[in-house]
Amino acid sequence: MREILLPSGEAVPVLGIGTWGMGEDPGSAARETAAIQMALDLGMSVVDTAEMYGNGAAEELVGRALAGRRNEAFLVTKVLPHHATLRGTVAACEGSLRRLGTDSIDLYLLHWRGTVPLAETLEAFESLQRAGKIRHWGVSNLDVADMEELLRLPGGQKVATDQVVYNLTRRGIEFDLLPGCTGRGIPVMAYSPLEQGRMLDDPVLVRIATEHGVSPAQIALAWVLRQPLVLAIPKTSSPQHVRECHHALDVRLTPRDLADLDRAHPPPTRKRALEVI
């Protein structure tokens, strides 16, 4: 498993699993639990969830899936922006810890920016670190101006990641946010790297996949993972799809492949507003 380094120097795998939408259907719980456990088996140990997902149902499912295997996972969850006050962040974190069945979160993210000042949320994160409730903190869905504001704050340089949507059809971050983060050694965590499956019938993607003898999803993931300091967390709710995603690590795109994909989905030539799914 290829790894990238967080600003702290800790190594994490470049491929993990997302859990948006999981835990909401009791009939799917066994399959979803098996998917998370398969990800651990394959070294895809970054497990991403959030208090918002299913009003905590996803965190509860993750907690059950990690029972007895917590030390194998790099666990990521998120605080909602309207909870992100000094006291509210601590309370939200306690709720997540309870649902996840753990005493510490590896990476705690601000889900998106709201009205609470970043300095106050950062103060709460630092308090949680001192208490041993979280190991690292980061952000999600923050664009360049917000990241620059964060980095100017005392302690802001400790931000571990910015989790944003990034895939072949949503390349806006390549203009400024992606190089700005990676140039400072801040990894970007790509959510929806498969565009929730909507891009997988793209004719160029299908042709390149056929030439490599793999699936379009594997080509799309390999395209995201070609970037240094980018970690992908596809939402994958079945063991079969987890294995499919894992095999994307073996795909090597050629210069011709990349040029063909650029022609079909051109990189940005100007600033674009940060997209959110």
Beta-ladder partners of 134: 105
Radius of gyration of the chain (CA): 18
Report the alpha-carbon angle 127-162-253, nearest 5. 145
DSSP type of residue 243 = H
Residue 186 maps to a domain: yes
Q: In whole angstroms, what separates CA 140 from the centre of its chain?
A: 9
- H helices of 111-215, where? 118-130, 144-152, 177-183, 203-212
pLDDT tens, position by position, 218-229? 999 999 999 999
Residue 205 maps to a domain: no
Give the C-alpha distances (Å, rounded to integers) separating 17 from 89, 193, 204, 243.
24, 11, 26, 11
SS3 245: helix
Give the C-alpha distances (Å, rounded to integers) separating 275 from 81, 171, 195.
17, 9, 12
Residue 277 maps to a domain: no
pLDDT tens, position by position, 99-117? 999 999 999 999 999 999 9
User: Would you write out the chain's pLDDT as a tens digit for each of its 277 residues?
Assistant: 899 999 999 999 999 999 999 999 999 999 999 999 999 999 999 999 999 999 999 999 999 999 999 999 999 999 999 999 999 999 999 999 999 999 999 999 999 999 999 999 999 999 999 999 999 999 999 999 999 999 999 999 999 999 999 999 999 999 999 999 999 999 999 999 999 989 999 999 999 999 999 999 999 999 999 999 999 999 999 999 999 999 999 999 999 999 999 999 999 999 999 999 8
The domain of 52 spans: 3-198+225-238
State how beta strands 230-232 and 188-191 pair: parallel
Query: What is the Cα–Cα distance from 46 to 8, expressed in whole angstroms?
Result: 16
Q: Which residues are catalytic?
A: 53
Type and span of the H or E element at 145: helix 144-152
Query: What is the Cα–Cα distance from 264 to 212, expressed in whole angstroms?
Result: 18
Domain count, the chain: 1
pLDDT for res 277: 87
pTM reported for the whole predicted model? 0.96
Both tokens of 209, joined, read: 């996949």
Largest Cα–Cα separation, the chain: 54
pLDDT tens, position by position, 74-94? 999 999 999 999 999 999 999
Residue 162 contacts residue 181 (beta carbons within 8 Å): yes
Q: What is the CATH number of the domain that holds 172?
A: 3.20.20.100
Residue 256 maps to a domain: no
pLDDT tens, position by position, 26-55? 999 999 999 999 999 999 999 999 999 999
What is the length of the chain? Answer: 277
Give the C-alpha distances (Å, rounded to integers) separating 120 from 68, 114, 115, 140, 159.
35, 12, 11, 16, 14
DSSP type of residue 266 = P
